[in-house]
Structure 1
Amino acid sequence: MEFHLQQTDLWTSMEEQTKSIDLPQNTAVLPDPIHFPNSPSRPSAASVPAPWAMSPAPPPSTNHQHFVYHCIASLHRPDGNILSIAMTKEFIFAGSESGRIESWKLPECTGVGFIKARSGEVGAMFGSGRMVVSCHGDYRVRIWEVKMGNKRLKAKKISTLPSKRSFLVVRKSSRRLQYHTDCISCLAYNDADKLLYTGSWDSTVKAWKISENRCVDSFVAHEGHVNAILINQEDGCVFTCSSDGSVKIWRRVFGESSHILTMILKFQLSPVNALALSLSSFSSSSSLKPYNFLYSGSSDGLINFWEKESSSSRYNHGGFLQGHHFGVLCLVTVKDLILSGSEDTTIRVWRREEIGNNEFVHSCISVIEGHHGPVRCLAAATEMDNMGNMLVCSGSLDQTFKVWRLKLFAPQLKKEIVEICGNHNPVLSPSWVEKRKLQGDDYYY
């Protein structure tokens, strides 16, 4: 069965727009989501909800920017929860407990089919270019080559790690190196060295040479489950986090495949579930000092962050972000924004701002509501439409996958929009947007 993603025309003329959303003063209004129909026919205009919902305004004493957000689609999977999401420049992929990987084509966000691997749940995924890597319930990894063909996704399995053949030829003493013995919970890929990393609930991390279809290193990373893993593509450092409450930094030995532990970051006793890295060549100040922030989400609802020292390459604890009522399960960063998904069913958007002298503050600028279960996974990217939109995908344990479109407005533009439209949710015409851009107003993110 093919599911098509319905997308409303969000940029109709302001002069012709007659429908709007009344905005409560303290809560966000989320329009009913557009669901994937069972037939390829498009819904009637009357069935399309009003497009934008304004996020709750911050306290009057603050001068933060404002988000409007819109759920443009929602897919319900009655056969299992959504466990993983991968996003490339061309596609969005969502993996579920059923072992099925749904796919959508960007930028139209139209359903283009699915990948079905009869190997159990898809617990983690990673996408880069035309390569998609998925982890399955049999504790093995599949690597797919994906492309479009005749308006449908064409997926070709390139390899499986480890291969079935290796069960027969590998020596018993080497099996610990080649095979995970529990669920593979996370993936990361080193672009420069072409190494794929897998983290597992068996407490180990393995490095795979994809070109050789073999594991080149395996090490016990934590005392508990390895819940997340990521790579700093600038220096090759590997970050892992675990149910043992720690975040660890590993470095590959130069000229070898083995990895050594360089630093342990432990600021809380609660299990750490998610990691995200925010990198920039230079900060926005005139000193042009590079910055590097590491974020970790834990089961106590806090997001701790560390800033890397440029001189010693050490990570110093800078504080924590507090707002979620239950555990943080997933994190993703886009420029100076941090998005977090939680067991409390919400997605929070945080902004990091420089206040001078390379000092930064964090604030929550939006709370996105719409899921009815814990938000398990997130993916986000800026859209290439020059309209300031950001596309966010979320998977929840309520068996739904949602696609959101977000826009960030500067305070002065927010005031102007309210003066024109009143206390309603605006729909902006492309000509008006283009006029503001030509005037030099940086209203969009």
Structure 2
Amino acid sequence: MIKHHRVTTLKTLHSHVSCLAINNNNLLYAASAYIVIVFNLSNHTHIDTFNDDPSSGSMKSIAFNDTKIFTAHQDSKIRVWRIAQLRRHHLVYTLPTFKEHLYRSLMQKNYVHVRRHKKRLWIEHCDAISGLVVNEDLMYSASWDKSFKIWNISENRCLESVKAHEDAMNAVVVFGNGTVYTASVDGCNKVWERDDILQKHNFPFG
């Protein structure tokens, strides 16, 4: 029989931890409220604490690629970080970027109805972002606004927005060449496949 035993306790700053993630540099990221605490897994030491903006709200998810860290927040934004010297993290930009937001806002066709008498750009989430996953050069974000979005990481732009569920989404994962699995408060898990001709994701299973 396999049994686990506690080795140590890694203490955070707040009373709850909302998500954990480990990257390829042997670092553990623990989100406690709006703050991320970073530990070195080889010796369990605390090496950094970042995000000093309480207005970002509670952090829901953390994802990585080779050079960046992505964090999902209650304020419906994705923050992008880099590791600088001495493993200190600094904010690079948020998604959607100001440049893309400004460009999209010039055309009325880029606005969608999100609530009665309220419009937002389709590249924006309008509620808390609950999940992030990176698959090669694409990132997928799930939100309580019932949608998931696909982002091109190298170009810092949103490629697609999919109205996926009838209630808040809590998780998203991606498998293989881009099959997307989504989970929601509506009690459904859905599977999405990309139509390369239409350049968008379809729900082909009913």
What does residue 160 of structure 1 align with? Answer: 94
Runs of 4+ in 1 over 6 A off after TM superposition: none
1:106 to 1:71, Cα distance in 2 relative to 1, 3 A: closer
Deviations 1:388-424 (A, max 9, x none): xxxxxxxxxxxxxxxxxxxxxxxxxxxxxxxxxxxxx
1:259 to 1:117, Cα distance in 2 relative to 1, 3 A: farther
Unaligned runs of 5+ in 1: 1-64, 265-445
Instruction: Give the TM-score taking structure 1 as reference length.
Output: 0.41
Unaligned runs of 5+ in 2: 112-120
SS in 1 for 2:3: strand
Pairing 1:179-190 to 2, within 5 Å after superposition: 179-190=124-135
Report the aligned-residue RMSD: 2.0
What does residue 217 of structure 1 align with? Answer: 160
What does residue 243 of structure 1 align with? Answer: 185
What does residue 325 of structure 1 align with? Answer: none
Q: Which amino acid aligns with 1:121?
A: S
Deviations 1:302-358 (A, max 9, x none): xxxxxxxxxxxxxxxxxxxxxxxxxxxxxxxxxxxxxxxxxxxxxxxxxxxxxxxxx
The structure whose Rg is larger is: 1
Identity of aligned residues (%): 26
What does residue 117 of structure 2 align with? Answer: none
CA distance in 2, matches of 1:238, 1:75: 34
CA distance in 1, matches of 2:24, 2:183: 28
SS in 2 for 1:82: coil
1:211 to 1:117, Cα distance in 2 relative to 1, 3 A: farther
Deviations 1:178-208 (A, max 9, x none): 11111101111112xx111111111011101
Q: Which amino acid aligns with 1:169?
A: Y
Q: Which amino acid aligns with 2:185?
A: S
What does residue 62 of structure 2 align with? Answer: 125
CA distance in 2, matches of 1:257, 1:109: 45
CA distance in 2, matches of 1:158, 1:256: 33
Equivalent position to 2:10, from 65, 74, 83: 74
Return the structure number with greater relative CO, CA threshold 8 A, min gap 6.
Answer: 1
Equivalent position to 1:173, from 109, 112, 126: 109
What does residue 114 of structure 2 align with? Answer: none
CA distance in 1, matches of 2:66, 2:153: 15
Deviations 1:93-151 (A, max 9, x none): 11122x2111012322211111124122212111343421101232111121225x3xx
CA distance in 1, matches of 2:152, 2:71: 16
1:117 to 1:164, Cα distance in 2 relative to 1, 3 A: farther
Number of residue-to-residue matches in the alignment: 192
